[in-house]
Chains A and B, each alone.
Chain A
Amino acid sequence: MDPITVDPTTEPFWRACREHRLMIQRCRACGHHQFYPRPFCLACEGVDLAWVEAKGEGHIYSQTTIRVPATPEMTPPYVVAIVELEEGPRLLTNIEGASSEIGDRVRLRWRERGPLPPLPVFTPAEPGS
């Protein structure tokens, strides 16, 4: 399923993924950031929303290591996590590249998926970065 072609409300997000940019919504009225995209602000219910690029930094709110097969595309074990972006919104993702713990700082990287838009994933930030 190519998400760009199926869902007009998320199309700007997935188009930006093609350019390795992680886009979230920011409310012009109250400054609240949100993800996934909606046609109104969850904080103030305003409708004047802008797409802004997230810095791609955050921390792990929770994580689990999946140790049994769930889907043919992924071979266990692998880490599924909820990352809280510095801007506030959280997203489900994978942590790749090094072992991680809840609370660890992470930064964005991209997983290529052939014809589908690249997928935002995260990796532990280098110590001191």
Chain B
Amino acid sequence: MKPVYVVGAAETPLGKVPDHSEFSMVAVAAREALGEAGLGFRDVDALFTNYMGEEGSVQLGEYLGIRPRYAESSDMGGASFEFFVHHAMLAVTAGRCEVALIGYASRQRSRRSRRRAVDATDQSLAAQFEAPYGIHFPIGHYALSAARHMHQYGTTSEQLAAVAVAARQWAALNPKAWVRDPLTIAEVLASPMIADPLHKLDCCLVTDGGGAIVIAGPERARDAAKRPVRILGAGESHCQWHVAQCPDLTVTPGVVSGREAFAMAGISPSDIDVFEPYDNFTHAVILYLEDLGFCAKGEGGAFAGEGRLGPDGSLPAMTSGGGLSYNHPGALGILLLIEAVRQLRGEAGARQVVGAEIALAHGTGGLAFSTASTVILARE
């Protein structure tokens, strides 16, 4: 198969962004990302976005002046951008496009737009069978998963907290991280309980932010100003929407997306130098470690608890500080990809993982791991 590359990657303004709209944020990031590849908006012939309003790619295309011949605004939750890398790679390979732009921005912090409950009014199955029970959206859904994992495998609150501590250790090395103060396991456990067993500090941040990624084939990658990063493999899957429909809340569709991505890449988990997991909740990382094959099912808690994810660990993970400490603009997936690219280019400054050759970005979306998409990237 013809090689496909990430040829540009850039964050939008992050944190609290008072002086932009979502569309202008994407424009700024997209311009920077395309510039890295020596490209402009007029070169883009494939456009991917999510959460940019109805017919999102249409709205974004109009704003940027792009009329694509390949377009997608599917809603796969926060993992949409990993799905999009998969789809863009296939589209480039099939000759259906040459330059794919993936963009996203949110001002969920400034707008205070996050909802806390399942919509009880939209006549959906969730309105009928979830909303009346007052489940907190989405923390309640994820708490049911965490509680079951602890029950089934003896995973502890301390092991969950170790994930937050590792993320914070990385954030301390990233000037763009939203919170950088030192954090201890005791402080995580002392933070208010939101939905047992998830404390406040087991949950990700709520910030503004977003980013842009540019994907192209070898012809375009040759001209890139920065070192292109090759897409080695990608995979995707999804499972339940309603949390009670999940056959096993300790297993995510990452089992499938990871298997597919590793098979395409022809490598195994032991080859991964940098792991960028969608750390919306601490236990999420523990489940991914198991489902992607970094350890056996049930051993993710011990893996995280041993401090292996931090700057001195054997599997550097959440190297930006992650959704837990760097930024979480509602949909984190695009920032995972950008951090993976930065690490593979050797641009990560104080948090650079020495000798990073292969990185894995793993996204999730929806409610308690509804969706999963895994992307494996390599330094050329």
Contact = CB atoms under 8 A, between A and B. Distances in A.
Contact of B243 (A7, A82, A113): A82
A67 B194 contact: yes
A91 interface: yes
A92 B123 contact: no
A25 interface: no
A70 B135 contact: yes
Nearest to A74: B134
A4 B131 CA distance: 15
Contacts of A98: none
Contacts of A69: 116
A62 B249 contact: yes
Given A67-B192, A91-B129, A102-B151, A62 B134 contact: no
A103 interface: yes
Contacts of A92: 129-130, 133, 135, 242-244
A67 B196 contact: yes
Given A1-B127, A62-B148, 11 more contacts: A6-B128, A64-B140, A64-B197, A64-B198, A66-B135, A67-B194, A67-B196, A69-B116, A71-B131, A80-B134, A91-B129
Interface of B: 116-117, 120-121, 123, 125, 127-137, 140, 143-145, 147-148, 151, 192-198, 242-245, 249
B244 A82 contact: yes
Contacts of A67: 192-196
A64 B146 CA distance: 9
Contacts of A3: 127-128
11 contacts: A1-B121, A3-B128, A6-B128, A10-B125, A64-B143, A64-B147, A66-B140, A70-B140, A71-B117, A80-B140, A92-B129
A29 B46 CA distance: 48
A71 B134 contact: yes
Nearest to B245: A90
Contacts of A90: 244-245
Interface of A: 1, 3, 6-7, 10, 14, 36, 61-71, 73-74, 78, 80-82, 90-94, 102-103, 113, 119, 121
B134 A73 contact: yes
A16 B151 CA distance: 34
Nearest to B125: A36
A70 B117 contact: yes
B136 A66 contact: yes
Nearest to A81: B144
A64 B144 contact: yes
B195 A65 contact: yes
A64 B195 contact: yes
A62 B145 contact: yes
Most buried by A among B127, B129, B133, B192: B133
Contacts of A68: 116, 136, 192, 194-195
B196 A64 contact: yes
Nearest to A1: B121
Contacts of B242: 36, 92
A62 B144 contact: yes
B136 A1 contact: no
